[in-house]
Amino acid sequence: MIRSRITGIGFHVPPRVVTNHDLEQMMDTTDTWIVERTGIRERHFVEGDVGSSDLGIEAARKALADAGRTPADVDFVIFATTTADWMFPGNGVIVQEKLGLGTVGALDVRNACSGFLYSLSVADAFVRMGQYRCVLVIGAEVQSTGLDLRTEGRDMAVLFGDGAGAAVVEPSTDESGILSWSLHSEGQFARELWCEAPSSRVPGRVTQEMLDAGRQLPRMNGRQVFKNATTRFPEVIHEVLAKAGHTLDEVALVVPHQANQRIGDAVVQRLGVPPEKVFQNVQRYGNTTAASIPIALTEARDAGLVKKGDLVVLAAFGAGFAWAGTAMRW
Ligand code: COA
């Protein structure tokens, strides 16, 4: 059977770096609180009129170059984001137009922090069934414009950053490729990490009262997210390894969604692996939602931590709750 593999990856973050000390000037918080609770030291925020499609397009260009492909080779686009430029259409068509991809199909996925892995699973299925041969998968977010940067919003505002990552998925011609998947959701927790408005339930989509109450901004029950994430990450990592017929000792690197260093550390502890087996770069980017896994994977690969032939596991957990994992031979 044909396998699909990632043939190119890349990422892009906007140039403006916002440190914890910068946040101290905007709200009642401290670098110490943020570092102790989250490990995050800085993140990138867009400036001016920049949308998640713009960041995604830059990441896509780098991933295509890395794969040795041009826009003419792409035959399908999948764009994962919770922060699309517009309510509709989704960002996929913006990429199609700006990269000049002919009239290829473009699919948008809004599974938040697990959006990149859900998108990758669709790309994998298309390639394995022979429907497409070169699928561009993008995860990109502009979270900063939806954060309340006053003290009222500090619990969320210190966690998130902007950025984009992308991957090119093609048929494998050797032993490399995607080996297994696990995709899960649990909607009873939908309101534990969500953004309520604009909403089709509301005439006019949003009311002044909702705006005044900040219901157009993301909200979170941090403790509930933490508790579930630290259980689901190890669980899904074990699941995908079992499905692929491999064990944790054979894994070169686990690249989890970058939510919080304390979550990453808990994953290390619960898996019982050395810390260097679980890649973490949340310290420098914050949580970039759908972009975090391709950003982390690119940095890990560029640092020599993911080499040809390595067994790699990617895992994500986030709003929904939705979570996902995949094992692959690099
Ligand atoms: N700076 C300073 N103080 C802050 C703060 C900030 N940025 N944010 C919250 N606080 C305060 C709270 O108001 C609270 O004060 P109080 O005790 O006077 O009421 C205190 O710090 C403790 O808040 P609490 O929410 O209990 O902290 P916590 O230890 O649970 O840590 C998180 C909060 C958000 C860091 C933690 O719950 C977490 O990491 N959750 C997972 C979040 C996540 O990763 N979400 C995305 C997943 S995809």
**DSSP codes of every residue in 185-205:** E-GGGGGGEE---S-TTSTTS
257 is catalytic: yes
The three-class DSSP label of residue 306 is: coil
Tens digits of per-residue pLDDT, 290-310? Answer: 999 999 999 999 999 999 999
Nearest to 214 by CA among 233, 194, 230: 194
Is residue 129 pLDDT above 90, yes or no? yes
Report the separation in Å between the CA atom of 249 and the middle of ligand 1, taken as the mean of its atom positions: 34
The stretch 137-143 carries a mean pLDDT of: 98
Residues 41, 163, 233: CA angle, nearest 5 degrees:
70
The stretch 255-280 carries a mean pLDDT of: 97
| Helix, strand, coil fractions of the chain, as percent rounded to 5 | 40, 25, 35
Domains and CATH numbers, the chain: 4-173 (3.40.47.10), 178-329 (3.40.47.10)
Amino acid at 174: D
Spatial separation of the C-alpha atoms in residues 326 and 313, rounded to whole Å: 6
Spatial separation of the C-alpha atoms in residues 46 and 145, rounded to whole Å: 8
Report the separation in Å between the CA atom of 288 and the middle of ligand 1, taken as the mean of its atom positions: 18
Residue 1's pLDDT is what? 77
Q: 18 has which bridge partners?
A: 43
> Among 37, 194, 228, which is best to mutate for testing ligand 1, by the most ligand atoms less than 8 A from CB?
37
* Structure tokens belonging to residue 208: 């002044």
Tens digits of per-residue pLDDT, 15-50? Answer: 999 999 999 999 999 999 999 999 999 999 999 999
Sheet holding 76-80, edge to edge: 4-12, 163-171, 135-141, 76-80, 105-109
Q: 251 has which bridge partners?
A: 311
Q: Which atom of ligand 1 is nearest to the CA of 154?
A: 7
Tokens 């979550």, residue located: 263
Of 44, 228, 257, 281, which residue is the catalytic one? 257
Tens digits of per-residue pLDDT, 196-248? Answer: 999 999 999 999 999 999 999 999 999 999 999 999 999 999 999 999 999 99
Q: Whose CA is nearest to atom 29 of ligand 1?
A: 37
Report the separation in Å between the CA atom of 222 and the middle of ligand 1, taken as the mean of its atom positions: 6
Q: Whose CA is nearest to atom 46 of ligand 1?
A: 259
Q: Which atom of ligand 1 is nearest to the CA of 262?
A: 39
12 is catalytic: no
Phi–psi pair at 158, nearest 5 degrees: -80, -10
Average pLDDT, the chain: 97
Report the separation in Å between the CA atom of 20 and the middle of ligand 1, taken as the mean of its atom positions: 15
Q: Which atom of ligand 1 is nearest to the CA of 220?
A: 45
Q: Which residues are CB-contacts of 209 (< 8 A; sequence separation ≥ 6)? A: none
Of 44, 111, 113, 281, which residue is the catalytic one? 113
* Structure tokens belonging to residue 106: 């473009």
* Structure tokens belonging to residue 249: 């000792």
